[in-house]
Amino acid sequence: MLRRLLSLMPLPFLASCGSNPGNHETHSPDWEALRARMVEQQIERRGVRSPQVLAAMHRVPRHEFVPSSLRHEAYHDYPLPIGFGQTISQPYIVAAMTEALALRPSDKVLEIGTGSGYQAAVLAELVSNVYSIEIIPELAQRAAADLFRLGYTNVHVRTGDGYAGWPEHAPFDAIIVTCAPENIPPPLVQQLADGGRMVIPVGGRWGQSLVRMTKRAGALAAYHAALAIAPDSWYPRRRRFWAWLCGGRRDFRRWSTTFGRRKLHRAAARRHDVPASCHAAARYTTACMAAVQQAAEKPARPHRLGCDKHDHNHGYTSHS
């Protein structure tokens, strides 16, 4: 019966069922268009205004820093796993931290927590030299190889404990820390040049603030809350909820970053039993500022600053 059916089947149809590789064209994504949309919808729309930072985010190929199986998600608005329990940061977080550093082309930057190398690549687009420390050897080796392959010869990566910094190349004009330490490491303060800026997250698992500090007369001063952010683990849920609330409109991010964040912080605070005084966004930021002051004044003790991204998932970021 099967033979009979095949004999009656038109020849063109049989030919179309063949596996001729020449008939199938594989189209790679338009990475540049995806980056442009990421910058416009996820970064610029949320308030990042520096033309230099926006241009750097547009140039750096984020898909080159994620596992090949996740490349199709490289320009989505959330962190992605990079192995060893770590993640590459959400693009907006990378841009916000970079803008907060107020970088100049001649600056020398120290990064604590190399991760995938993506944050270091963005920094390398803006400054003369980037020195990055990663505590996980496999991540450090992979990031160094990827950065070299992409031509970022002004990024220097080494494996080590970020708590001690990199004294051989101090002083640094800016220091970026991609995890929330219990106290601000004194070696990092010493290695920051006078007038230099440090951007560091503070807070707990329920949410964090990005804080920018400036060194004046040998000490950190001028605390400034650059941004208040909820943990990464909440972010995909937040996106789905606000998308649903807005009826599926694609422009819900324009207002979710204000009203939505306030609601999210209250929910996260309740879940993690944070005191009621921290439930409101304004008080939450004040509480984080107090935490920064306490961290700066806390006596130093032996500590490994390894930027374990799942400690808080960097609370808000991850290995960048």
Quick: pLDDT tens for 51-71.
999 999 999 999 999 999 999
Higher pLDDT, residue 120 or 281 = 120
Catalytic member of 50, 89, 116, 209: 89
Please give the pLDDT value at position 44. Answer: 95
The domain containing residue 87 runs over which residues? 31-297
Residue 4 placed within a domain: no
Confidence of residue 166 (pLDDT cuts 50, 70, 90): very high
Residue 2 placed within a domain: no
Quick: pLDDT tens for 222-266.
676 666 555 443 444 444 444 444 444 444 444 444 445 455 445
Comparing 9-23, 35-49, 290-304, which segment has the lowest mean pLDDT?
9-23
Residue 17 placed within a domain: no
As given in the structure block, the two tokens for residue 320 are 């960048």
- Using CB atoms within 10 A of its CB, is residue 25 exposed (0-12), middle (13-18) or buried (19+)? exposed
Please give the pLDDT value at position 179. Answer: 80
Quick: pLDDT tens for 123-161.
999 999 999 999 999 999 999 999 999 999 999 999 999
Residue 8 placed within a domain: no
Domain count, the chain: 1
- Decide if 7 is catalytic: no
For residue 103, give the nearest of 239, 244, 199 by alpha carbon. 199
Higher pLDDT, residue 196 or 258 = 196
Please give the pLDDT value at position 58. Answer: 97
CATH number, residue 43 = 3.40.50.150
As given in the structure block, the two tokens for residue 22 are 């020449």
